[in-house]
Amino acid sequence: MDTEHPAITRFREHHAGRGGVGEIVILPDAVHTAALAAAALGCEVGAIANSLLFESGGEPVLILTSGGHRVDTAGVAGRLGLAPLRRATPEFVRLHTGQVIGGVSPLGHPAPVPTYLDSWLRHHEVVWAAAGHPAAVFSTTFEELQALTGAREIEVA
């Protein structure tokens, strides 16, 4: 790739602007799942922070979950006092994040999105998350990811 994809460039700007210090890695192929990302990075699938956008009463809700977990949408919505969580459509994701499914980063969205962070990610010294494009990821820690996003820590399973 001679020039960087604009989505990655935008992510770099947001990441640096918020004081992010992790490494941004451009992989040779898109990694649309936590398992593919973990294989490409040589880490545990649980160290991948999936950025899952849900729709709740017409509003976006971003849950950053360990790649080893499935979100209990009914349980999370109930504990947070939200309308039912529904998987967002690709159009809804693009509208609220400016990014495509498989590359949604935890930051750099057109407007703030309420964000929640899976407490299980604390078990990993290094956490990897999407960097705005399906072939880009960045390294971080639980604490830095929480500081970068302003996410509230929750149990998702």
The pLDDT assigned to 2 comes to: 60
Give Cα separations from 147 to 2, 100, 104, 151 (angstroms).
33, 23, 18, 7
Q: Which domains does the chain have, with CATH numbers?
A: 6-154 (3.90.960.10)
The whole-number pLDDT of residue 3 equals 81
- Closest CA relative to residue 121, chosen from 44, 26, 42: 44
Closest listed residue to residue 100, CA positions, set 15, 5, 7, 19 = 7
Burial class from Cβ neighbours inside 10 Å (0-12, 13-18, 19+) for residue 109 reads buried
Residue 134 three-state SS: coil
pLDDT tens per residue, range 52-78: 999 999 999 999 999 999 999 999 999
Residues 91-108 have a mean pLDDT of 95
Q: Per-residue confidence at 127, pLDDT binned at 50, 70, 90?
A: very high
Burial class of residue 152 (count of CB atoms within 10 Å of its CB; 0-12, 13-18, 19+): exposed
